[in-house]
Amino acid sequence: MLKSFTISNMSDILEIEKIPLKERVTELSTFELIEKGASINPDAIAISFLVNGDAYQQPIQISYKEFIGKLRQTANMLYSLGIGSTDVVSYILPNLPQTHYTLWGTEAVGIVNPINPLLEASTIKDICNAANTKIIVALGIYPGSDIWRKVEAIRDSIPSLKYIIRVMGMSDESKNIFGFDEKISQYPSDHFIFQRQITPNDIASIYHTGGTTGRPKLAKRTHYNEMVVAWDLAVGTDLHAGESVMVGLPLFHCNGTCATGLMPFSVGGQVVLLSPSGYRDASIMANFYRIVEKYRPVFFSCVPTILSVLLNIPKDKTDISSLRYVVCGAAPLSVELFNRFEKHTGIKILEGYGLTESAVASALNPKDGNRKIGSIGLRLPYQQVKVVIFDEEGNYVRDANTNEIGVICIQGPCVFKGYVESVHNKGIWIQDDWFITGDMGRQDEDGYFWLTGRRKDLIIRGGHNIDPASIEEPLYKMPQINMVAAVGKPDAHAGEIPVAYVELAKDSAINSDEIMEWAKKNIGERAAVPKEIIIIDKIPLTAVGKIFKPALRWDATERAYKTELKALGDLVTKIDVNVGEDKRYGTLAKIQIHATQGVQASTIEAIVNEKLGSYPVRYEVSIIS
């Protein structure tokens, strides 16, 4: 059983670290870690799978004894099809029990590569080729899913591919296709048919983190990376055997797989899978609080957009007292949304921070101590986080002072082993083993970290990472465009949405609608299609001729806030919004409002806070009567 720890401040973390990590995490592989959790009570429920929200009273349940058996059968099947310790199995699956079988069964025998099913077929092909995929595990023909169509479209374009395993489908051995359930039933569930001595530093998984079309960035993570983050999160959340967590985030992302997968499995907890579509299933969200009442979860992980949806769902008289907290990350959370959600539900929010390259988590607000709203909390035990100052050429200058904004860098047992393609590994480390995250932030006097922006250009839409190059490159293929820059525009629901600023070629008569049509047809990821095309005379450049994206992000924020403030109508005579760099918050919107004669400032302030309170960019308001 995992020992309970109290973490309320940095001193508690330092006390935990007095015992070497190697005495805390003694297993050699993720399978051994799950096996240890299963041994606590083999008859306990490992997975409760809800087909949809309306059928939440009739779950498909898998015991730990059955779960471990399925993992062994999956590993044995893959081994029989030629998978060894350096071979890659890619899966393209929604959230199903078979997804976990594939994930952890593959890690026991080879290397797993989860792929987002919502990506376009061409992008999936690029990922498989970069990963050198030997086997694809994919959902077969299923209502509402186009996964199988995508697989059939790309299978002949992946030279390394040997077999396809179809979940919810039959075998067709003439095409090297095997039905998942049919095939694994041929293998033993009580032992492995192969011998493999896994070391903690063996590569367990490669996750897609972005990259331009044809050159995907695939992060290599070891068994030790994933085991340590599972231990860290078990300590940070205080989860124990028999307790439940709810999973609505996708199982192609390391939060779903590690934070609410490997971690609860490692301590014998129950994983409640909220349908194949997770939070995207409207019936799940409509029944969310009733599902909580039935399954009594201790916590769930989400992104800010989920909290905003849950605000609009009546809690009625459901008993959700089992929820000790909700862990929220992946995108900035506004103070207003934080306070409104806690008031609506009575559930404590723990904001955190992590990335694929750190196995999922590096920092978390302490459940037992002071939660600083808007911060990402304290570093997790045995992980190191610091803020660094770079010069304009990207060279290390020094570590930042307290409350000085710089670039967040991480080091420790959860940090990955670089990207698959060496081209992506240039300039990502300092001082040998500190990874440069690209996120801007500061550390306060109590050790809490605060995000203030990004050094890199990543757009985060509802917790989903979008590489601006995936938008810019297709648009650059239009001869009528001289220059293009994609940035994130603040959004009250998604945190950010992608928009594209375009400078037209001389004498071009193309309009924004035509550019948008091109974008929809040529951008390989639906989530990356910009919500708006903004044509401007000149794209702003730095003194050395590089696109100055901060100015575009400031402009996008100004546009968003001005649109929202139109709700003030005749209450005001003039509104000025100026967005720029701020030494404390990174970006700050300064809003000056001229009130109509006789209108109270408090009336205007109430409307401003209602309209802008859920946005992630800070604002200050001055009202002139």
My answer on whether 267 and 343 are in the same domain is: yes
CA distance 179 to 81: 13
Kindly state whether residues 558 and 523 are assigned to the same domain.
no
**Does the residue 212 lie in any domain?**
yes
- pLDDT at residue 472 in the model: 85
User: 295 and 207 in one domain?
Assistant: yes
Q: What is the pLDDT of residue 549?
A: 86
On whether residue 430 sits in a domain, the answer given is yes
Domain count across the chain: 3
Which positions ≥6 away from 54 have C-beta within 8 Å? Answer: 283, 287
Last residue of a domain, one of 515, 538, 561: 538
Residue 583 binned pLDDT confidence (cut-offs 50, 70, 90):
confident
pLDDT tens per residue, range 274-315? 999 999 899 999 999 999 999 999 999 988 778 878 888 888
Which CATH number belongs to the domain containing residue 265 in this structure?
Answer: 3.40.50.12780
Is residue 265 located within the same domain as residue 412?
yes
Are residue 369 and residue 292 in the same domain, yes or no?
yes
Say yes or no: 615 and 581 in one domain.
yes
Look-up: residue for tokens 């020094």? 398
Residue 505 is predicted with a pLDDT of 82
Eight-class DSSP state of 201:
T
In a domain, 2, yes or no: no
Summarize the confidence of residues 57-80 as an average pLDDT: 98
Rounded to the nearest 10 degrees, what angle do helices 223-237 and 30-40 cross at? 40
Residues 596 and 512 in one domain: no
Contact between 321 and 296 under an 8 Å Cβ cutoff? The reply is no
Q: What is the pLDDT of residue 341?
A: 87
Mean pLDDT over residues 45-56, rounded?
97
The beta strands (E) that lie in 180-296 are given as 203-210, 217-222, 244-247, 270-274
**Same domain as 575, residue 505:** no
SS3 438: strand
For 168, counting Cβ atoms within 10 Å of its Cβ (0-12 exposed, 13-18 middle, 19+ buried), the class is: middle
530, 499 contact by CB (below 8 A):
yes
Mean pLDDT rounded to a whole number for the chain: 92
Q: Is residue 440 part of a domain?
A: no
Q: Residue 527 belongs to a domain with what CATH number?
A: 3.30.300.30
Answer for the pair 579, 557: CB distance below 8 angstroms, yes or no.
yes
Does the pLDDT at position 379 exceed 80? yes
Do 297 and 322 touch, CB atoms closer than 8 A? yes
Summarize the confidence of residues 372-387 as an average pLDDT. Answer: 94
Q: Note whether 328 and 420 are same-domain residues.
A: yes
Structural domain contains residue 19: yes
Q: At residue 145, what is the residue type?
A: S
Nearest to 434 by CA among 539, 362, 497: 362
In this prediction, residues 530-538 reach a mean pLDDT of 93
Specify whether the backbone of 69 is left (phi greater than 0), alpha (psi in -120 to 50) or beta.
alpha
Give a yes or no: residue 321 inside a domain: yes
pLDDT tens digit sequence for 188-211? 999 999 999 999 999 999 999 876
| Per-residue pLDDT tens over the stretch 304-363 | 778 878 888 888 899 999 999 999 886 667 777 788 889 889 899 999 999 999 999 999
CA distance 601 to 263: 50
DSSP at 275: -
Q: Is residue 544 part of a domain?
A: no
Nearest-5° Cα angle at 191, 187 to 192: 75
SS3 261: helix
In a domain, 546, yes or no: no
> 278 — alpha (psi -120 to 50), left (phi > 0) or beta?
left
d(CA 417, CA 222): 7
CA dist 33 to 124, 219, 244, 326, Å?
A: 30, 22, 18, 24
Q: Do 422 and 483 belong to one domain? A: no
Give which of 353, 360, 345 is closest to 375, Cα–Cα.
353
Taking only the tens place, the pLDDT of each residue in 212-229 is 556 789 999 999 999 999
Which residues constitute the domain of residue 506? 459-538
Same domain assignment for residues 605 and 493: no
More confident residue, 455 or 254: 254
Q: Which pLDDT score is estimated for 543?
A: 60
Asked if residue 272 lies in contact with residue 279, where contact means CB atoms within 8 angstroms, the answer is no
386 and 518 together in one domain: no
Strand-pair partners of 178: 165
